[in-house]
């Protein structure tokens, strides 16, 4: 197990190395382009040259990469071109905002998906199973930007119950969270629910469940004590992988509702070529994704004794 953990974390570091290298090359390979995006399109060639010299962009690529990694590790993310402030000042609040949005979504989504998936899977082929399966396909088919405008029309325009934007201008407000969270939950829960259903349905056909039924154990006991434990192993990996998907959905949803999170920041930075912000957001997104994937893999191995003892 320890060796496995070491290997998985080794792979994670290797992926992070390649990803940071790619991000660095895509953004900073050409010093002149960096200088131009920092100083703006009207900068004179002499100014660009001066900037390149003053900021050490005349050094070799390898040195600059190592220097950049070193500064990232101590939390120096550079200066934002759009905001004229250190990236760190904006970045961490934005990341925390996204963390709040994604965290609330994640808890609701997983609970909803597990309950529905188990309810469907324990009675495979029943009308309830059919209904839940079709419901989870249907909601997964409505992309975030579509459900965002539909929900906005219903709850903001027609009913007037909820605010249409979630910019949190006057501090955190629960009511502004309702729409973004609903949009993300609606799109995301179906996949986990279907995985849980498949896993649960498979467990229900095994011999040990049949034995438990024939022994005359109460049905509730069989489901909660015997079936669930094994049925939830497979969805666990899917749930961890879902965090990667959630980060994708966050970009669209934050843009749709004007939520001040890191997805919206990344989009803005990418459109206006604010390279240090792009780099910070890109590294953060991949780090979260790779880290959760690694945890998912390790957790799955730990939970599933058939793999653990191989």
Partner 1 sequence: MAEQTETLDMPVRENSLQRWLKAIALLRESPVGMVGGGIVVFFILISIFAPLISPYDPNANLVPFVTPFSTVDDKFFLFGTDQLGRDILSRLIWGGQRVLFYATAATLSAYAVGIVMGLAAGYSKGWVDEAISFVANVILSFPVMVLYVLIIATLGASGLNIIFAVVFASSPGIMRIVRGLTLDISTREYIAAAQTRGESAWFIMMVEILPNARGPLIVDFCLRMGYTTITIGALGFLGLGLPPPDPDWGGMITEARAFVMGGFPHMAIIPACAVSLLVLGFNLLADGLREVSLKD
Query: What does the binding site for partner 1 look like in residue numbers (CB under 8 A)?
Result: 11, 14-15, 18-19, 22, 26, 134, 137-138, 140-147, 149-150, 152-153, 156-158, 164, 244-245, 247-249, 251-252, 255-256, 263, 266-267, 270-271, 273, 278, 281-282, 285-286, 289-290, 293
Task: Please say which residue, 31 or 190, places its beta carbon nearer to partner 1.
Answer: 190
* CA-wise closest residue to 93 among 280, 272, 275: 280
Task: Please say which residue, 68 or 226, places its beta carbon nearer to partner 1.
Answer: 68
- Work out how close the CB of 206 gets to partner 1 at its nearest, in angstroms, rounded to a whole number: 18
- Work out how close the CB of 309 gets to partner 1 at its nearest, in angstroms, rounded to a whole number: 23
Q: Say how far apart CA 249 and CA 270 lie, in whole Å.
A: 17
Secondary structure tally for the chain: helices H, strands E: 15, 0
Task: Please say which residue, 8 or 49, places its beta carbon nearer to partner 1.
Answer: 8
Q: Say how far apart CA 267 and CA 180 lie, in whole Å.
A: 17
Q: Say how far apart CA 300 and CA 237 lie, in whole Å.
A: 6
- Work out how close the CB of 215 gets to partner 1 at its nearest, in angstroms, rounded to a whole number: 31
Task: Please say which residue, 148 or 212, places its beta carbon nearer to partner 1.
Answer: 148
Tally of CB atoms within 10 A around 27:
18
Task: Please say which residue, 152 or 203, places its beta carbon nearer to partner 1.
Answer: 152
- Work out how close the CB of 286 gets to partner 1 at its nearest, in angstroms, rounded to a whole number: 6
| b/e 109-128 (16+ beta carbons within 10 angstroms → b) | bbebbbebbbbbbbebeeee
- Work out how close the CB of 241 gets to partner 1 at its nearest, in angstroms, rounded to a whole number: 10
Tally of CB atoms within 10 A around 30:
11
């Amino acid at each position: 197990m320890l060796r496995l953990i070491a290997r998985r974390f080794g792979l994670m570091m290797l992926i992070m190395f390649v990803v940071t290298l790619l991000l660095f090359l895509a953004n900073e390979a050409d010093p002149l382009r960096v200088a131009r995006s920092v100083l703006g399109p009207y900068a004179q060639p002499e100014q660009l040259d001066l900037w390149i010299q003053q900021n050490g962009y005349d050094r070799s690529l390898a040195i600059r990469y190592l220097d950049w990694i070193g500064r990232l590790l101590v939390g120096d993310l550079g200066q934002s071109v759009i905001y004229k402030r250190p990236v760190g000042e904006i970045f961490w609040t934005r990341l925390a905002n996204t963390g709040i949005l994604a965290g609330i979504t994640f808890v609701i989504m997983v609970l909803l998906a597990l309950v529905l998936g188990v309810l469907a899977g324990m009675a495979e082929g029943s009308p309830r199973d059919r209904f839940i399966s079709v419901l989870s396909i249907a909601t997964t088919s409505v992309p975030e930007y579509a459900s965002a405008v539909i929900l906005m029309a219903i709850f903001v325009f027609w009913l007037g119950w909820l605010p249409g934007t979630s910019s949190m201008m006057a501090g955190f407000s629960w009511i502004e969270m309702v729409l973004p969270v609903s949009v993300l939950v609606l799109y995301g829960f179906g996949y986990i629910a279907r995985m849980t259903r498949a896993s649960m349905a498979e467990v229900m056909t095994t011999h040990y469940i049949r034995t438990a039924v024939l022994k005359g154990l109460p049905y509730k006991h069989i489901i909660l004590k015997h079936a669930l434990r094994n049925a939830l192993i497979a969805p666990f990996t899917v749930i961890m992988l879902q965090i990667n998907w959630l980060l994708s959905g966050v970009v669209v949803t934050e843009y749709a509702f004007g939520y001040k999170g890191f997805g919206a920041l990344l989009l803005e930075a990418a459109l206006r070529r604010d390279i240090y912000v792009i780099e910070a957001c890109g590294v953060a997104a991949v780090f979260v994704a790779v880290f959760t994937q690694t945890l998912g893999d390790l957790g799955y191995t730990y939970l599933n004794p058939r793999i653990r003892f191989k």
